[in-house]
Structure 1
Amino acid sequence: MQKTRTVRLRPVRPAGWWFDALLLAALAGLTAALAADRLLGVDRAVADWADAHRPAPAEWTAVVLNYLGQGSPLTLIALGAGVLLAVRVRSVLPVLPPVCAFVLNYLTIGPLKVWTARPAPSASTKDPFLTPEQTLPLFQHELPLKYAQSYPSGHVANAIVWYTVIALLLAPLLRSFDRTVPPRLVTVVRLVPPVVVLCTTTYLGWHWLTDSVAGLLLGLLISRVLRRVPWDDLPLPARFDSPDRLALFTSTP
């Protein structure tokens, strides 16, 4: 008989819900400030500086590094790691984190982009060829949807969420092959790619600085939700789980 598991939320750092509330308040405050045409000068100054300091070698390096935040490949990598681990441990459990991450991204990032309807900085140099001043404000719903999906940065938010999931799966996956992963490597996987993506996305002019900051805030909020889930303790139907499944993601039996 499968042992009954006590389901408790996992701890995160910083501990407590106050930090989640702070992230949400910061995102709401940033959105309200942009809606009131605040911080647009900062966005313009950063974009103009990047345009003036983007030699070809630096631009191509940034383009290559920005692939670290491509949502579709990251989704496939995370799902592939989850499926491989699921096969190794004979449980559907490892597939749940990437599936939940996809659902949370779908329900938050996309709708917020559609609602805020903000063009990217490049909208003044290619279709729809807006004036530089027209590219800055939010809520330009008169534009075709494909030209007004800059806020928040999906690259940044996706990078934070998907590398959280990849880091979550990395240690148990390697353990299933009798390999260990240094805890510092897991931390590097979670932190370094999102920072690189935030910097390169802004530097390349693909997003305004505030787009990237909003993506950072939203990504961190989703990441904390995923890391709070007690994956090891979730009750699963017997046909989708191994009766002798050990703790994969925590040390809790």
Structure 2
Amino acid sequence: MGRRTWGWYVLAVVVMAVVTADVLVDGPLRHLDWTVHRFCDTRVRGGWMSVVHVFTQLGQRGVLAKYALVPLAILGIARARSLRPLLVPAVVVLLLSLLQVGLKSVIPRTYPFSDTDILWKHGDAYPSGHTLNGFVLVWVAIELLIVVVPVLDRWLTARGRRDVALVTGFLTGAALTLADEHWLTDVLFSLALGPVLLTGLVAAEPFTRPLWRDEPYRGRYPRI
């Protein structure tokens, strides 16, 4: 693991710590939350909201499961004639769920669409789990797609699969903020954590590869 990778890890930790501290002490970022909330609540409507909601679906676990994860897992199992293609996705979903529940329980927070920002009350807005889904679960879906259609590996390289997941994660976070479904700081925390989780999945790929399929991947994952 190179210095550049460690540099990104350190930066992510710093961002998460700063954002969390700001939320706890009612700092300038939390005040910015209200500015963004008021803007999105009054300006992002109608057709713009319809467009934004398309991208929020990238972080909806139910939508991803219904239209991507479950169908692709079933096809992968049928192709491999084994339950192996289900193992990694199931473990990733379970660990991601536990992580999200754990993080959200630390600082319970109400959502912006309630027009209240209260900590330590009923709510689990902080941080944004949907944004993390946009990074992690989309990557899982892409890997399952390669399992089902191995020929795609010839043009959708390992770097490309990683980059797609990075883009969808950031798009999901931006869309959730514009749709007023999460405070900006909820999303900022997850935009820092999401790439770290994705990097961990990428680093573990050589060890988890036999669980996905028998055929070797054509390219190694690049360092991030």
TM over 0.5: yes
Aligned to 1:8: none
Shift of 1:231: 4.7
Aligned residues of 1:168 and 1:249 also touching (Cα < 8 A): no
Mapping for residues 169-248 of structure 1, pairs under 5 Å: 169-175=144-150, 180-183=154-157, 186=161, 189-231=164-206, 245-248=214-217
Deviations 1:91-143 (A, max 9, x none): 5442232122212212211221122111111112xxxxxxxxxx3353x2xx3
Aligned residues of 2:131 and 2:187 also touching (Cα < 8 A): yes
Distance across 2 between alignment mates of 1:251 and 1:196: 26
| Structure 1 length-normalised TM | 0.72
Distance across 1 between alignment mates of 2:102 and 2:198: 18
Distance across 1 between alignment mates of 2:77 and 2:88: 11
1:53 paired with 2:28, answer no
Shift of 1:187: 5.2
Deviations 1:14-65 (A, max 9, x none): 8544423432332122112211111211111111121231231111222233
Deviations 1:160-186 (A, max 9, x none): 1111212223334211x6884433863
Shift of 1:68: 2.1
Aligned to 2:108: 117
Aligned residues of 2:109 and 2:126 also touching (Cα < 8 A): yes
The Cα RMSD (Å) is 3.1
Aligned residues of 1:157 and 1:218 also touching (Cα < 8 A): yes
Aligned to 2:124: 149
| Structure 2 length-normalised TM | 0.80
Structure 2: gaps (5+ residues) = none
Shift of 1:248: 4.5
Residue 69 of structure 1, aligned match among 59, 64, 71: 59
Aligned to 1:104: 95
Shift of 1:220: 1.9
Aligned residues of 2:166 and 2:195 also touching (Cα < 8 A): no
Aligned residues of 2:109 and 2:124 also touching (Cα < 8 A): yes
Give SS of 1:229's match.
Answer: helix
Aligned residues of 1:34 and 1:40 also touching (Cα < 8 A): yes
Distance across 1 between alignment mates of 2:215 and 2:188: 39
Amino acid corresponding to residue 98 of structure 1 in structure 2: P
Distance across 1 between alignment mates of 2:152 and 2:14: 43
Shift of 1:83: 4.0
Amino acid corresponding to residue 30 of structure 1 in structure 2: V
Query: Bigger radius of gyration, 1 or 2?
Result: 1
Structure 2 vs 1, CA of residues 229 and 83 (structure 1 numbering), >3 Å: closer, same or farther? farther
1:25 paired with 2:6, answer no
Aligned to 2:24: 35
Distance across 1 between alignment mates of 2:152 and 2:31: 54
Distance across 2 between alignment mates of 1:96 and 1:190: 20
Distance across 1 between alignment mates of 2:205 and 2:113: 42
